[in-house]
Amino acid sequence: MKLLSHLFSWLFLPLFMPVYGLLITLYYPTEQVLLSSKSMFGLPSEIKSQLFWVFFIFSCAAPGVSFVMLHQRKIISTIDIENARERNIPMLVMFAYCLIMFILFVYKAPNGLLPKYFYALPLSGAIVTALFMYINRWIKISMHAGGGGILCGYLIAFFMVHTNAPIFLISLAFLASGLTISARLFLNKHLPVEVYSGWLLAFATTFCCNWFYPG
């Protein structure tokens, strides 16, 4: 169980969860309920690939490299940032990358040129991280659970306005969240309130941001 818990913790790292969500919505064949809205699946393959790699670099690769550098400089003691007092700088890094990516998409593709989720997903990541930074003053709110909440909130907001929603993929996203939460509890990394509040806050924030973002 301990080995599986560590495996789930690494497989479902917070940095990976939005990437999983974007992959699903880019490549699973769906159509918008409103024909006037721009389709993620309908984007040309080359554009999909370019947009995905921009998203991957800013939401996963660059923050991951930054965390390794922070660890090498002993600013954080562990890569998964177990110490509550060490979390502000890594969360600030995550916030900065999400905000930069949001501004980049707005600047390079203004006036809703792209499907709204390319703007709303990084914006929701920035908002969730900012909220977690504030709450971290009192409890060590779980970023792993937050990653699961972001994935599920994004998928629910996306597929509620699309036809042919993949129930099995949405179920897998919730299962991944449950496994991650169980793993963090089993490893004694968090208290129940820290994982459940992290998931609920990230889910609600991401859902609202992607649901209400204009486009």
- pLDDT tens, residue by residue, 8-50: 888 898 999 999 999 999 999 987 777 656 778 889 999 999 9
Query: Looking at residue 35, what is its pLDDT?
Result: 61
Position 70 pLDDT exceeds 70:
yes
Query: Looking at residue 5, what is its pLDDT?
Result: 84
Which residues, other chains included, contact 14 with Cβ-Cβ below 8 Å and sequence gap of 6+?
Answer: 94, 143, 144, 146, 147, 150
pTM of the model: 0.93
Per residue, the 3-state secondary structure of the chain, as one string, reads CHHHHHHHHHHCCCCCHHHHHHHHHHHCCCCECCCCCCCCCCCCHHHHHHHHHHHHHHHHHHHHHHHHHHHHCCCCCCCCCCCHHHCHHHHHHHHHHHHHHHHHHHHHCCCCCCCCHHHHHHHHHHHHHHHHHHHCCCCCCCHHHHHHHHHHHHHHHHHCCECCCCHHHHHHHHHHHHHHHHHHHHCCCCCHHHHHHHHHHHHHHHHHHHHHCCC
Number of domains comprising the chain: 1
Beta bridge partners of 162: 32
Structure token pair of residue 39 = 């389709």
Position 6 pLDDT exceeds 60:
yes
Position 84 pLDDT exceeds 80:
no
Q: Report pLDDT digits (tens) over 170-202.
A: 999 999 999 999 999 998 989 999 999 999 999
Position 203 pLDDT exceeds 80:
yes
Q: Are 214 and 112 spatial neighbours (Cβ–Cβ below 8 Å)?
A: yes
- State the burial class of residue 90 (Cβ atoms within 10 Å of its Cβ: 0-12, 13-18, 19+): buried
Position 141 pLDDT exceeds 60:
yes
Query: Looking at residue 37, what is its pLDDT?
Result: 67
List the domain range (segments joined by +) for residue 132.
2-212
Query: Looking at residue 62, what is its pLDDT?
Result: 95
Q: How far apart are CA 194 and CA 173, in angstroms?
A: 20
Residue 172's alpha-carbon distances to 24, 28, 80, 106, 158, in angstroms, are 11, 14, 23, 31, 16
Query: Looking at residue 71, what is its pLDDT?
Result: 86
